[in-house]
Amino acid sequence: MLEKGGNVFRERWTRAASRGMPRNGKTGAPYHGANVLLLWDAAIEQGYASNVWLTYKQAASLDAQVRKGERGVMCAHFERKARRGEDADDAANVQAGEEGGRAEEAPRGGVLLCMPFWVFNVAQIDGLPSEVVDLCVEPVKSPSGPVESALRLLGGCDATIRHGFERAMYLPELDEIRLPWPSRFTSAEACCATSLHELVHWTGHPSRLNRQFGKRFGDAAYAFEELVAELGSAFVMGHCGLVDATIEGHAAYLDSWLQVLKNDRTAIFTAARHAGEAFEYILAREMPLLDTAPLLPSDE
């Protein structure tokens, strides 16, 4: 997708995100990390209406049946295993990190192993019980639209945001987001999308999620942080319903991303994990919807 260009991957990720984060149909739990990207892409590619998935065994346990000839989507599960006499070279070949980091990130006495599993969309399964079908309902969006939803995220995080600058940026040393005046954007949606992109950068500050990539990626660390922000903003924009919004004044890092991902085959796992953490951090601080019901007159 990245090799097809920015418009292709950005639109596909955001449109997929607008259907909600992929969830397991039996447990209701969301999928994480690179599995989100895999399931989003499969849903768009196959035209599935929902982001609810089950393994073959889970479907069978619900007295449902995956239709003959249907193909599952391979996802990755990471599990920590104790070392049992393997030498250092063998251990180094196991790419560790919670969602595919480096082997040296694993604590002494254990490594993280990557194991595949396959899931099927609910559209591929017959005989599902009503409680699973109910999970397939479209995600609830803000009744006032995507702009209000984005503003509730921005307001809840209470980041320092200053306007009046030529381009959008986040300055870690000052811990502030700088933006052009809102009137400089082509639309309110574009202003919100750009602000949310910078808000994802804001989550990486040492006082929050403390994202640091210099030791692993060297000179490409800045571009890799931009990939995290690109993914994270797709998650957040999809949640808000900003499907057609454009992140304005955003530098093109596509070639740098592709080079990093080709040099390090586990980098996409790391980027997706950090993007998911940023999304969850922002979402946890969302301002609640106000009760707009009319006030009843008092007895006085």
pLDDT digits (tens, 9 = 90+) for 108-163: 457 878 899 999 999 999 999 998 988 887 665 556 789 999 999 999 999 999 99
Q: Are strands 161-163 and 125-126 parallel, antiparallel or unpaired?
A: unpaired
> What share of the chain in percent tops pLDDT 70?
84
pLDDT for the residue 222: 87
Torsion-angle region of residue 96: left (phi > 0), alpha (psi -120 to 50) or beta?
beta
What does pTM read for this prediction?
Answer: 0.80
pLDDT for the residue 95: 38
**Cα 163–chain centre separation:** 27
Which token pair is 97? 């990190």
CA angle 276, 138, 52 (to 5 degrees): 60
- Average the pLDDT over 159-169 and give the result: 96
